[in-house]
Amino acid sequence: MLKWILKKEPKASHNVAVQKGGEEFVYAVVENETILDSALAKGIPMPYSCQVGSCGECRCKVVKGKISQIKDLRYMFSDDEIANGFTLACQTFPRSNLQLRFDSPTQVKEGRIVDFEKLDEDLYKVLIRIEDVFDALVGQFFSLINTRSTSRYYSIVSLQKNIDNCLLEIHVGLKTDGVMSNWWRDIFSGEASRVIGVGAAEGQYSVRGKGNIISFASGSGLGVTVALITEYLRSNDAAEAAFFGVFRGGQSNYFENILSTRKEEFNGRLKASIIDSDEFYQRKQGNFAKKLTLDCPVLSGIKSKDVSGLICGSCNLVARAKSLMANLEVAEDKVSYDEFS
C-alpha cells in the first residue's frame, strides 16, 4: 500500500526592522499577518489602540520594502503621505523585508475646554480654545489628551482661526464603556480639569468630487459630515446632497436639530432622512440599494454622474455604507470616510 505524505508549504515570512525612539527591533512576519499583530505576539513594543484602523496610533512610515494594505487609507493620510510611505501597522501586510520608522509624536499644544452644550442623550457639543496657531481643516481629527493621560481622537466640526489662537468645535458621544466617557461626565458635572493636550490635526475626510453628494453617518459622526456638506453646498450653488443618518429606532433629536436649520438654508438642495439602524444592517444589500435608487424620495434630484460619497461612523457602518455606495455606482475614489471605534 502506498502512503502519500502531504507536506504543507511553509508560509513566506519577511524580516521587519522597526526604528522607534532611538532603538531598533527586528522580527519575522508571515505574509498574511499584519505588522502590528505579529509585533504584539512577539512582545515588540509598538504604539496601538483600536487595532482596526480607526485611531491612528500605529501610524508609521515604510522606509524600505513592499507592503499591501487591508483597506484604502486615504481617510487617514493625504496622497503625499501615502506616496511617502505612511501606513497603519494594523492594516498592513509585508510583501518583502521591511524597514519601518515610528516618528516621535508631534508637539502637543495646550488647550482648554471653554464651553459645552447637550445636543441629545449622551451627545454633547464641546468648544476648545488653543492659545496658539493651529493648522487644521473641518473634517480632520486630532488626539485629545486629558489630565489623566488618557487620549482619544475627535473630529473637527468647525474652527475659528485667529492670528494667535483657535477655537475648535467637536461633538462627543458618551458610551458605557468608552475610553474617555467617565472623564467627559466629570467635565460636564464640573468635577475635572478643563485643561487638555491637543495633538496635530490629521486625516483627509473631505468631499472628493465636484458634483452632488450622497452621505451616511451615525452618532457623533453626524456633526462633522453635515459640516462638510454645508461647506460644500455654500461654495457650489448648483450642487445637491442626500444625507442619511443611521440611528437606533429611526429617531434622533441630534439629527433633527442639526438638519432642520441646514435644510432651510439650502432650500431643497439638502435632502435628509433617518434610517433605523436595524433596517440599515439587517436588510439584504440588494433590497436596500433598490429602495435607495427607486423608492427613497431623498434621492430625487441627485442625478449627476459625478457623485461623491461621505461616510462617518463605526467600522460596521463604514463597511455597509461602502457596499451601498458601490451598488449606487459611486466611484470608489470619490468616497471619503472617517471610521472610528
Beta bridge partners, 117, equal 125
Looking only at the bridges linking them, the beta strands covering 241-247 and 307-313 are unpaired
For cell 441646514, name the residue.
262
| Residue 153 pLDDT exceeds 60 | yes
Q: Cα(28)–Cα(96) distance, rounded to whole angstroms? A: 11
| More confident site: 5 or 235 | 235
| Residue 200 pLDDT exceeds 50 | yes
pLDDT in tens, 73-112: 887 887 888 888 999 999 999 999 999 998 755 678 999 9
The pLDDT score that the predictor gives to residue 3 is 43
Identify the DSSP state of 201: P
Indicate the pLDDT class of residue 4, thresholds 50, 70 and 90: very low
| Residue 156 pLDDT exceeds 90 | yes
| Residue 201 pLDDT exceeds 70 | yes
- Mean pLDDT on 133-144: 92
Which residue segments constitute the domains of the chain, with CATH numbers given? 13-102 (3.10.20.30), 109-198 (2.40.30.10), 212-339 (3.40.50.80)
pLDDT in tens, 113-125: 999 999 999 999 9
pLDDT in tens, 44-84: 888 887 788 877 788 899 999 999 999 888 878 878 888 88
Query: What type of residue sits at position 212?
Result: N
pLDDT in tens, 295-337: 455 555 555 467 899 999 998 999 999 988 887 888 888 899 9
Predicted TM-score (pTM) of this structure = 0.80
C-alpha cell at 301: 434630484
| More confident site: 336 or 5 | 336
| Residue 161 pLDDT exceeds 80 | yes
- Mean pLDDT on 278-292: 63
- Mean pLDDT on 26-35: 89
Q: Cα(5)–Cα(2) distance, rounded to whole angstroms? A: 10
pLDDT in tens, 32-46: 899 999 999 988 888
Q: Cα(155)–Cα(310) distance, rounded to whole angstroms? A: 14
The pLDDT score that the predictor gives to residue 76 is 80
Quote the strand ranges of the chain, DSSP E.
13-20, 23-30, 59-64, 67-69, 86-88, 92-94, 98-102, 109-120, 123-130, 141-145, 151-155, 158-161, 166-173, 195-198, 212-217, 241-247, 270-276, 307-313, 335-339
